[in-house]
Structure 1
């Protein structure tokens, strides 16, 4: 899954890199679509979390028939929800993009790109739901491999469809979206073939299962979707604080944000692969195994992220030099790396706890923990630091916010994991 996540991150970078060669206007047009794309991804990930949680719990409880019914329902319902959302986003594109600041020329570029991009988003969501089903059944290898395969297909098709080859003219900006459509279509074809070879789906009893499982599914998916939509909002608020420090600081912050995603690759992979294990243990009532898995996961995150963060902090001047040629941006980026990268050990702990919450039956607490991390710890500390110490204060404040969030998540996890044992001890004669 870590390799797959890295490939998926490269997917976005490759698209932007090729589009940048078309000029500033196409790149700006693509950038205007990011907020709506994040909306689709947030809903998609929230639904995927609910899929993995419910099916893994059913499997852990020995309810194989129910797991098959759930598999069929969530694939169909998830694809339908994203399709309806795509239709709505197509219908409201003009007023929404004008509200975001797009002018007439940019809207014309977006119009040719947005339809294939929405199709790509729907195919990508269907593919992600399939990945969630495989992960719920304990297979993380195929989703990881398919992430790599679709990224490679996209890498090959991007220059061909954007710029053309030989006498055939490229499609320009829409070519990037069509390359993604074809890459996801290849992934769906492979995944669908593998899925048909399993016995993970059912055709009978779906209506009764829908009535029985709609409420618990919504109880997990709703908070999970809200949790996924919080980070983009927090990112917009954070960049507004950074903007007060100057253009160089904004550029450095953007580069540091990309480093954050890459440095958290292992944590992101664990947030995908750990919940199905925990869901099975939850369904089977095996809390001892839950304790062992969580201790191992938190130990790996703490050691890996702290070691990586300290190494990056020591190498900050050279990392900044590799990423930016502007001396002012380079100095600001080095400062951000020194403070932020080591603090991602605490951030990783918080992310693991939030991810585990959806599998262990407390999605609302997981959502509140995610909200507290961003709006109670991270953003206030970042704002106070920027007001008191400029960029250095901002970097230190963000690091302190991450540290406080990690400590709070650890305390919440300890209390929650202790409660099943206390109940078991009370019930034991």
Structure 2
């Protein structure tokens, strides 16, 4: 999963790197779309968490027939939900991007980019739901392999569709979105064929399963979606703060956001692969294994993320040069890298704790931890830093916010693991 996440997030960073060659304005336009794109991702990840949790718990309790019914339901409901969401985001684009601080020139660039980007978001969400189904059944190899394949396809299509070939001038900024759409569509066709050969879906008994599983699904998916929707909301508020500093700062922030997700590849892979394992332990009542898994996961996150963050901070000038040709954007990006990336060790701790909470029957606590990370620690520190010291202060404030959130999440998890062991309360 780490290899798959690396390739998937890597091609998103490659998208931004290619777009940066078009100029600061297209890169800033793409950066303004990130919060709404994260909104779609938040919904799909929240539903994916519920998919993996319920199906893995059913498998852990040896209820394979129920697992098949759940697989069919979530694919249908998830596909329809994301379709309605992307249509809504298309309809409200003008007022939303205006509120985020995009001027008329930037909004004109976004108009041509937004439709293919929403199509890519829908295809990616459906593909993610299928991946969640495979992960719930313990197969992380196929999702990881397919992420690599779609990433390589996107990498090949990006320069052709953005810059053109021969006498064809290319599509510019929309070309990046069309490349992603084609890559995700191809991946969906390939993984759909593999899913057709599995006995993981059912067509009978779905109505009864809706009545039986609606409350448990909502109990997990609801808080998980809220948890996943809070980062896009925080991103909107953050980019509105960055927009007050200037267009180059928005472009640098957009590149830093892409680099953030790429640098968190191991953490993201663990948030995908750990919950199904924890869910099976939950279904089987094996709490000793839960404790061992969590201790190991947190050690890996802190050691890996801190080492990587310090290394990238040391090479930040060269990394920024690789990602942007604009001197002002490059300098601002190097500043963000130096302050933010080492702090992702603490952010990773918080992400792992939230992910485990959803898998182990603590969705409300997970949601509250997400809210605390963003609205108690991250955003107030970021705003205070920007007010005191422009971009440098903003970067320092964001780093301090991540550190405080990680410490708080660790304290919450320690109290949970030190409490008397609960009996499994998996709903029958």
Quick check: TM above 0.5?
yes
Mark the CA change 1:350 to 1:65 in structure 2 (over 3 Å): closer, same or farther: same
Aligned residue in 1 for 2:209: 209
Contact 1:158–1:175 under 8 Å retained in 2: yes
Contact 2:43–2:225 under 8 Å retained in 1: yes
Contact 1:245–1:390 under 8 Å retained in 2: yes
Report matched runs for 1:87-236 at 5 Å: 87-97=87-97, 110-166=110-166, 170-236=170-236
Task: Name the stretch that deviates more: 411-420 or 158-167.
Answer: 158-167
1:92 positional shift = 4.0
1:19 positional shift = 4.4
State whether structure 2 residue 75 is matched by structure 1 residue 84.
no
Contact 2:310–2:342 under 8 Å retained in 1: yes
Q: CA separation in 2, counterparts of 1:239 and 1:173? A: 20
Contact 2:35–2:236 under 8 Å retained in 1: no
Residues 243-293 of structure 1: CA distance to partner in whole angstroms, max 9, x if unpaired? 666777666655544443232121111111111111111111111110111
Q: CA separation in 1, counterparts of 2:29 and 2:394? A: 30
Aligned residue in 2 for 1:45: 45
Q: CA separation in 1, counterparts of 2:96 and 2:56? A: 39
Q: CA separation in 2, counterparts of 1:28 and 1:315? A: 24
Larger RCO (CA under 8 A, 6+ residues apart): 2
SS across alignment from 1:198: coil
Aligned residue in 1 for 2:75: 75
SS across alignment from 1:421: coil
- TM-score, with structure 2 as normaliser: 0.86
Residues 113-169 of structure 1: CA distance to partner in whole angstroms, max 9, x if unpaired? 444333322221110100111111111111111111111112223333445445667
Q: CA separation in 2, counterparts of 1:162 and 1:248? A: 21
Aligned residue in 2 for 1:409: 409
**Aligned CA-pair RMSD:** 3.2
SS across alignment from 2:421: helix
State whether structure 2 residue 343 is matched by structure 1 residue 312.
no
- TM-score, with structure 1 as normaliser: 0.86
Contact 2:13–2:259 under 8 Å retained in 1: no
| Unmatched runs of 5 consecutive residues or more in structure 2 | none
Structure showing greater Rg:
1
Mark the CA change 1:166 to 1:204 in structure 2 (over 3 Å): closer, same or farther: same
Task: Name the stretch that deviates more: 45-54 or 149-158.
Answer: 149-158
1:413 positional shift = 1.2
Task: Name the stretch that deviates more: 8-17 or 300-309.
Answer: 8-17
Report matched runs for 1:306-385 at 5 Å: 306-316=306-316, 319=319, 336-385=336-385
1:189 positional shift = 1.3
